[in-house]
Structure 1
Amino acid sequence: MAGEQENVGPLGPLVGYHLRRAFGAFAADFANAMDGTGMRQVLVGILAVVSGSPGINQGAVGRVLGIKRANMVSLINELVDMKLIARVVDPADRRAFSLTITDSGRAMLTDCLAKIEAHEQQMLAGFSDEERAMLLDLLSRIERRDPAIA
């Protein structure tokens, strides 16, 4: 690690630099894990939220995941076109749509979660259970400080 810090100069002690590098490694491995599924991180996230909250509207999904409203329509359209999510007019507010996961979406989510679990096991193979829990705790503390997430 010390030699690497010398190579990146003053970036070595910066947490943000290492978070970006760790994210890049995780994202690349995630993409490999999802190869052939047609799924990306954002689509899996949307499927997971809709699965956990049947009838949720797309604005609420966007708020939960920190996705801009302008991007939600095309993402939801993509999942509807893949027949993974059903979008129906909300009976309580005819201007809004409620979302539910389809049987195909549930199967896709189950498959993706299994692949993600294997991906995370591989990426964190050198971590103890306590270190994994600590990492999740530390990252969630950073997330809670982000006003865009609140």
Structure 2
Amino acid sequence: MISFSVLTMVARNPHIRQANLAEALGMERPNLVAIVNELQNVGWVIRIPDPTDRRAYGLRITTAGRNVLSKATAEANAHEAKVTQHLDDDERQILIRALKKIEDATKQGG
């Protein structure tokens, strides 16, 4: 799941710095580095040196990474449709708001 989140963020934010990505995902930087290393090893992301800061790297998704992300997104959407198939639009919105509250509370340490 975290790899999916990392790939999604990198796809939506080409050349995002690892530090910014860690902050956006609410992760510790060393934990993110390990995940990025793994994604780079399988060929799904690449590190690009930042032209303004030689110590920093931006991340870019590869074609292989886009293919994996596309398949994973399709599977996630199909799963979501399956588990919410008996909910009407109002119930789906209630579920989304409740999940958002849980996510926010988790980020705040509660």
TM-score by length of 1: 0.66
Runs of at least 4 residues off by over 4 Å:
none
RMSD: 1.5
Structure in which a larger fraction of residues adopt strand: 2
Q: Which residue is equivalent to 1:127?
A: 87
TM-score for the superposition, normalised by structure 2:
0.88
Which structure: larger Rg?
Answer: 1
Task: Note the residue ranges of structure 1 that are not aligned, 5 or more in a row.
Answer: 1-40
TM-aligned CA deviation for residue 61 of structure 1 = 1.2
Correspondence for 1:101:
61
Structure 2, gaps ≥5 residues long: none
Amino acid paired to 1:130: D
How many pairs were matched up? 108
1:50 counterpart letter in structure 2:
V
Q: Which residue of 2 aligns with 1:72?
A: 32
1:136 aligns with 2:100: no
In structure 1, distance between residues paired with 2:72 and 2:102:
26
Q: 1:110 aligns with which of 70, 82, 91?
A: 70
Matched residue SS, 2:59: strand
Tell me, in whole angstroms, the C-alpha distance in 2 between the residues paired with 1:129 and 1:103. 35
Alignment of 1:1-150 (within 5 A): 41-145=1-105, 146-147=107-108
The structure showing larger relative contact order (alpha-carbon pairs under 8 Å, at least 6 residues apart) is 2
Q: CA deviation at 1:58?
A: 1.2
